[in-house]
Amino acid sequence: MQKNSGQEFMVNSRYEHLSPAPQDGGLIPQPPLELPVPDDVELIPLPAHETLTLPPMDLRTAVETRRTIRKYAEEPFTLEETAYLLWVSQGVKKVSPRPATARTVPSAGARHAFETYLLVNRVEGLDPGLYRYMAIEQGLVNLNAVVDISVQLKQACLDQPQLENCAAAFIWVAVVERMYWRYVERGYRYLHLDAGHICQNLALGAEQIGAGICPIAAFDDLKLNSALGLDGEELFVVYLATVGKKAVNRE
């Protein structure tokens, strides 16, 4: 195989090539556990995940029935269902004195370097638009995106139509300093592993509410980050997934 940048990254992120970690020596403080609520933006409280009455489903059934779905029913999500999927994929179970968050998914060193951005197309109680999940507070903030944000995101994802026909899309944005502070260059590997944990939990949670997801890694990085107002270096998209109720005649 011809030498390429992917091979170079794997070599350069080996332990013998890592830079000194900012956490060592205690001179550089740990980054915050989550991004702050924007100024002059009201936190939208979400129902506690326990309030949603769910049909029983064992893990084996969820794994066996899970499949990628790109076409969805017109049925909207309830706010309770949306809150449940957010909690399943990134919910905070406790904040330790370290400080660190223990969540519903594993993360290297409990760094939990992802913020969930939520594209809302059809969710009861929420206007269509772009939101960010405040996992510690169990709420949402409206990012006041442009009216055609779903169109922009579809175009950035190589014109995949499910960005417009889904009930919602979960977009996982890496806050790289949160991971780099401890793991430096090797942390970039861990970001991609952590994103997989999150997406799998979303897929299993969706099965329990009669929904399905389509994980998406095919996107134009520059266009997608720009549409979300991200700089592409300190904050950037690693992964996303569209979600919606299952249609009778689906792919």
Q: What is the mean pLDDT for each group of 10 consecutive residues in the chain (251 residues)?
A: 94 97 92 94 94 90 94 97 98 96 98 98 98 98 94 98 98 98 98 98 97 98 98 98 86 46
Residue 118 lies in a domain: yes
Residue 153 lies in a domain: yes
What is the per-residue pLDDT for 249?
A: 60
Among 85, 116, 79, smallest CA distance to 209 is for 85
Residue 24 lies in a domain: no
CATH number of the domain enclosing 125: 3.40.109.10
232 forms beta bridges with: none
What is the per-residue pLDDT for 174?
A: 98
What is the per-residue pLDDT for 251?
A: 46
What is the per-residue pLDDT for 250?
A: 46
Structural domain of 230: 55-245
C-alpha–C-alpha distance, residues 194 and 221, integer Å: 19
Residue 249, φ and ψ in degrees, nearest 5: -105, 90
What's the predicted TM-score (pTM) here? 0.96
Annotate 104-121 with DSSP letters as a single string.
SS--GGG---EEEEEEES
What is the per-residue pLDDT for 38?
A: 87
